[in-house]
Amino acid sequence: MADTRPGATARIIRWIDYRLPFVQFLNHELNEYPTPRNLSYWWNYGSLSGVMLVVMIASGVILATQYTPSADLAFDSVERIMRDVNYGWLVRYVHMNGGSMFFAIVYIHLFRGLYYGSYKTPRELLWILGVIILLLLIATAFMGYVLPWGQMSYWAATVITNLFSAIPLIGPGIVTFLWGGFAVGDPTLHRFYALHYLLPFVILAVVLLHLVALHRHGSNNPLGIDHKGPQDTIPFHPYYTIKDLFGLTVFLLIYAFFVFYAPNYLGEPDNYIPANPMQTPNHIVPEWYLLPYYAILRSITFPILFISSKLAGVILAFSSIFILFFLPWLDTSPVRSARFRPIYKWVFWLLVIDVIALGWVGANPPEGIVVTVGQIATFYYFAHMLVLVPLIGKLERPRSLPSSISAAVLGGGAGLSGAGAPMAKP
């Protein structure tokens, strides 16, 4: 692709590109990159996730220049940031609420994938990389929450690290290893700080792989059918750059509302009490984005065969994410997008309700009806993944797919192809 810009700029760019094809690369991947013309706003959430990763890293590094990762000084160093450091309150609230925003964005991005079959062939690895990012994100967020060394920081760390004691034989040894001592303490805080700083850069690397995988076959689209030629696509710039920019601005409005007007709405008051190893809070609750896993963890109140209820809860909680790795193979439908899957469409929304219900369960003390709902919701979640999704794929009669994206978008309706041949076989 010849650079037609005049004069010195063009010469410098050619000089660099000949040795390191950077500008060429950017031009191909971000400028002229052919993207399906029919992407909806549900496709904004990928770039939003990328923006949030940058925001969290930037705000995190700035906080790291002022924070002290020592059990006796951590809480006070955060208060100093809030009170004395110029704009410290802003960077802290940006980072704190950014964590919640990041998860909201990533969950919507994930559910978009579930609805439109973005995990189906040839995007299985793209999906798997995404699930790996989610796991790394959860680990990062968990460790980050410990750093302010408030009551919730300390006790969430205690409860979650104690889970590993459920592993037979080596469990308690692993827990001591994780703690670096006989309880969560200063060594634990130091290593969580080091890892919390490190993991986002690991996430960055996996995100880059995620993008490479994405660009191998390009984005999915609401119709779930492959693009068949240039009439189905438009260049990423300016169409999707401006659309992403607009979406970003709207998202920032929501983010700004929390940061400036309700910065502690999504948090726990108990975390403004310094950690006290001698006193447990009345209710230990994780942040909202971990509530569904917490609910599943607590829902197993009985042993299963030789597995203790505690271990079973741990296994199921982790499995709720691990099972996502297998989704491309669990889903037997020949059709990608739920738009053309009349049964799955409703089952999808049932899953959404189920996950929200699990969130409610996780937020409440495990008594009475909360336990029952939690057990039903946990059962339903795994039933969805292991039974409903495979069965529906096989038994459902999908609606007829349009012949092409452009046909559907440019007012066709004519030329519908039969169901069953929407995707190119690998």
Partner 1 sequence: MARSAFAAAVISVVLAPAITWAADENPRLPRQQWSFDGVFGTYDRASLQRGFQIYKEVCSVCHPVKHLHFRDLEDIGYSEEEVKAIAAGYQVTDGPNDQGQMYQRPGRPSDPIPGPFPNDQAARAANNGALPPDQSLIVKARAGGPDYVYGILTGYREAPPGFGMLEGMNYNELGPGHQIAMPPPLSDNAVTFADGTPATVPQMAHDVVTFLTWAAEPRLEDRHRAGFKVTLFLVVAAGVFYAAKRKIWAAIH
Partner 2 sequence: MADVAQQDLHQEHSGETRRDFLFLTAGAIGGVGAAATIWPFVDTLNPARDTLALSTTEVDLAPIQIGQRLTAAWRGKPVFIAHRTAEEIKAAEDVDISQLRDPQKDSDRVLRPEWLIIVGVCTHLGCIPLGQKTGDDRGPYGGWFCPCHGSVYDTSGRIRQGPAPLNLWLPGQAELANQALYKFTGDNIITIG
237 included as an active-site residue: no
Q: Residue 373 binds which entry of partner 2, partner 1, none, with Cβ cut-offs from 5 to 8 Å by kind?
A: none
Nearest-approach distance from CB 356 to partner 1, in angstroms:
7
Q: Shortest distance, CB of residue 87 to partner 2, whole angstroms?
A: 4
Q: How many Å apart are CA 203 and CA 107, to the nearest integer? A: 16
Tell me whether residue 65 or residue 282 sits nearer to partner 1 (CB atom). 282
| Interface pick for partner 2 out of 15, 22, 87, 177 (rule CB under 8 A) | 87
**Shortest Cβ 62–partner 2 spacing (Å):** 5
Check if 49 is active-site: no
Binder of residue 359, out of partner 2, partner 1, none (CB less than 5 to 8 A by kind): partner 1
Residue 235 binds partner 1, judged by CB under 8 A:
no
Cα gap 275→289, rounded to integer Å: 22
CB atoms within 10 A of CB 31: 14
Site mask, partner 1, residues 290-329, x = CB under 8 A? Answer: -x--------------------------------------
Residue pair 333/398 in contact (Cβ under 8 Å)? The answer is: yes
219 a catalytic residue: yes
Please tell me whether residue 54 binds partner 2 under the rule CB under 8 A. Answer: no
226 part of the active site: no
Q: Is 79 left (phi over 0), alpha (psi -120 to 50) or beta?
A: alpha
List 28, 37, 228, 339, residue binding partner 1 (CB under 8 A): 37
Using an 8 Å Cβ cutoff, are 71 and 149 in contact? Answer: yes
Q: Is 244 a catalytic residue?
A: yes
Residue 91 contact partner, candidates partner 1, partner 2, none, CB within 5 to 8 A by sort of partner: partner 2
Considering 32, 40, 76, 215, which one is annotated as catalytic? 215
CA distances in angstroms from 67 to 74, 76, 158, 200, listed in the order given:
7, 9, 22, 18
Query: Can residue 66 be called a binding residue for partner 2 (CB under 8 A)?
Result: yes
Q: Which stretch binds partner 1 (CB under 8 A): 18-26, 363-371, 374-382, 416-424?
A: 363-371
Nearer Cβ to partner 2 (91/290): 91
Answer for which of 201, 261, 302, 306 binds partner 1 (CB under 8 A) is 261
Q: Rule CB under 8 A: choose which of 48, 51, 62, 296 binds partner 2.
A: 62
Task: State yes or no: residue 83 binds partner 2 (CB under 8 A).
Answer: yes
The listed partner (partner 1, partner 2, none) that binds 257, CB under 5 to 8 Å by sort, is partner 1
84-103 residues near partner 1, rule: CB under 8 A: 89-90, 93, 100-101
Tell me: does residue 90 bind partner 2 (CB under 8 A).
yes
Supply the residues annotated as catalytic.
Answer: 215, 219, 243-244, 287
Q: Where on the chain is the footprint of partner 2 (CB under 8 A)?
A: 58-59, 62, 65-66, 80, 83-88, 90-91, 242, 245
